[in-house]
Each structure stands twice: as structure tokens, then as C-alpha cells.
Copies of this chain bind each other. A is one copy, B any other.
Amino acid sequence: MQIAILGTGAVGPALGKALRAAGHQVTIGTRDPDQTKARDQWAAVDLPLAAYQDLDAEVFINATNGAGSLPALQAVGDALSGKVVIDTSNALDFSQGFPPSLFVSNTDSLAEQLQRELPETRLVKMFNTMANQVMVNPGALGDDSTIFVAGNDPAARQTAASLAAELGWTDVFDLGDLTAARGLEMYLPLWVRMFSQIGRPEFNIKVVR
């Protein structure tokens, strides 16, 4: 499958390498490919780079930070129409320092905002409840844990769930429509606090049911 990933932070390259290892054709988008290539850490990332507006794929993955997600997706433009967009982002507001608060929550979510602004996309919230190390290697935790999927289009949720399964996820919990993104995004403050206490990002929750 042709997959385009928006964002060259930690999440984008990690997902890109794992999805390429699973047999997909992956391109990563950035605002300025030449500037990104010049960064030291990019030398180790062997994935094609394109500017956002040049991305074309069957599935897009938003791996930008929350505040930059809408402009990044808007920069892709018409190529997003009808496509599955997997949103991994979190509405983290670090303006008051650590720990972050959320810049949207409770009666709305970042994923719902993106879906409203980009109504032609089939947006799915997934991957936002864990660190990139866990996204691409769930088995390393030593016990099964849970990944969540939410979105208004059941077929899009299934596409995302299948990609998760290819990465090793054995418990993909379908939460239904995109209003579930409120809960998934509001979980982040608990994740951040657990991260502080555990002292490393390699953890996740398992829904025992």
C-alpha cells in the first residue's frame, strides 16, 4: 500500500520504517525536504522525503505535533480527498511548561476539529496513546496491550486496524465514531504522569475485560 506520513519528528520516521518493513511504500512529508535532509538525525532515516503538497498515497498518517496538524494536512490539499487519514497527534500545550495541558478537550477534540476542517477525509484516531517505540514494537513490552481506533467511517477504522495488526498489535479496540477521540486525547495527561513516574516511554495500557 502507498502510505504518506506527515511529520519528521520521532513518530513519523519510526512508523515509516516499520510500515516499510511490513511491505508498504512509504513517503514522508515535511514543509521543506531540503532543510529536513540537512538535519543530522535525518541521515539515519532512509525514507523518501517530499513536501506536503507533493504527497500522494492511499493512506495518510498525521504525525505532526497537534498545533501544526491542521496546516500540515491543509498543505497536502486535494490529494487527501476520500483518503484514510490516521491522526496520531495530541493537543499538547507546553506554553505553561511541563506537564502540558490540552489546547482542546472535554466537549471537543483535535481529531474532531481536523475532521470538521477536512470533511472529505476519512479520519481515524490511532497511535496517540503511546510512544513511538511502542507503536512499532508492541511485543517488546512483554505482555499484550491495547491500541484504540476511532473514526466515523467503519471501513477506514478497519484499514487502520489492519495496519496496526501488521505492526504486531493483537488487541485493537474499536471505540466507534470520532467523538471517542475526546477520551483518547484526554488520556494523555495520565500517560504523561505515568511516563514521569516510570521514567521511560516503553509502557502501555491493556484493557482487561
A interface with B by C-beta (< 8 Å): 96, 99, 101-102, 105-107, 141-146, 173-176, 179-180, 182-184, 186-194, 196-198, 202-209
A interface secondary structure, majority: mixed
Q: Which residues of B contact A197 (CB under 8 A)?
A: 173-176
Q: Which residues of B contact A105 (CB under 8 A)?
A: 105-106, 186
Q: Which residues of B contact A187 (CB under 8 A)?
A: 183, 186-187, 190
Nearest residue (CB) in B for A198 is: B209
Among B102, B196, B203, contact of A106 (Cβ-Cβ < 8 Å) = B102
Q: Are B209 and A208 in contact (CB under 8 A)?
A: no
Q: Which residues of B contact A190 (CB under 8 A)?
A: 180, 183-184, 186-187
User: In the assembly, what is the distance between CA of A179 and CA of B190, in Å?
Assistant: 10
Closest Cβ of chain B to A189, distance in Å, is 4
Q: Which residues of B contact A102 (CB under 8 A)?
A: 106
